[in-house]
Amino acid sequence: MIVVNGGSSSGKSGIVRCLQAVLPDPWLAFGVDSLIEAMPASMQASDAGIEFAPDGGVSVGPEFMALQTAWMEGVAAMARAGARVIVDDVFLGGVASQQRWQKVLAGLDVLWAGVRCESAVAAGREIARGDRVQGMAVSQAEVVHQGVFYDVEVDTTHTESLVCARNIAGRVRRP
């Protein structure tokens, strides 16, 4: 199990796809984007769900948290059932977010990978992606790493996704 944490536009998704390409076995990849995709459309922009503010802020309500916890349990169960799983997440709560995962992943062999990117560079990539809402990259760049422990850290500011992925893959223990 690999957990990849980083802010919006830090390059997590590209690194995850490269990890799937360079790792010798097939790995499943899930992430907060696929979770949001799985939720009812009405959970977006609702107080109980998830809200994206015009300034890039993200706030998450109690129903979102409850569904997320069950989803995390499910992802852990896939790993316990023998699947190799990569999860990418945005630890909006910093170390508290990591502790939620640690509790759910108890007993599993987890590689914690941090993806950093200089705030200004991430903001530029946010523009290049064409997202209508700007500001997430900057507001998340630092906060998601606060107090978080990593086995391996990469920085996409000056390093390509594929190289970052190879660094992470080199730390994966073959059973």
Length of the chain: 175
User: Is 78 a residue that touches its own copies (CB under 8 A)?
Assistant: yes
Name the burial class of residue 115, with classes exposed (0-12), middle (13-18) and buried (19+) by CB atoms within 10 angstroms of its CB.
buried
The Cα 19–Cα 141 span in angstroms is 22
According to CB under 8 A, which one of 5, 71, 119, 172 is a site residue for its own copies? 71
- Determine, following the binding rule CB under 8 A, whether residue 53 of this chain makes contact with its own copies: no
Choices 1-9, 80-88, 108-116, 144-152 (CB under 8 A): range interacting with its own copies: 80-88
155 classed as catalytic: no
Among 53, 55, 59, 129, binds its own copies (CB under 8 A): 129
Nearer to its own copies, 94 or 100 (CB): 100
Three-state DSSP state, 57: coil
Minimum separation from the CB atom of position 109 to its own copies (A): 15
Q: Looking at beta carbons only, is 125 or 150 nearer to its own copies?
A: 125
Nearest to residue 135, comparing CAs of 143, 123, 145, 124? 123
Q: How far is the CB of 129 from its own copies (least distance, A)?
A: 7
Among positions 3, 4, 50, 75, the unique one binding its own copies when judged by CB under 8 A: 75
Provide the 3-class DSSP secondary structure of residue 80. helix
Closer residue to its own copies (CB): 41 or 149:
41
Strands 84-89 and 58-60: unpaired
Question: What kind and span of H or E run contains 155?
Answer: strand 152-155
| Cα dihedral sign, 38-75-64-113 | negative
Q: Would you tell me which residues interact with its own copies (CB under 8 A)?
A: 14-15, 17-18, 20-21, 26-30, 34, 37-45, 49, 63, 66-67, 69-71, 73-83, 121, 124-125, 127-132, 158, 160-163
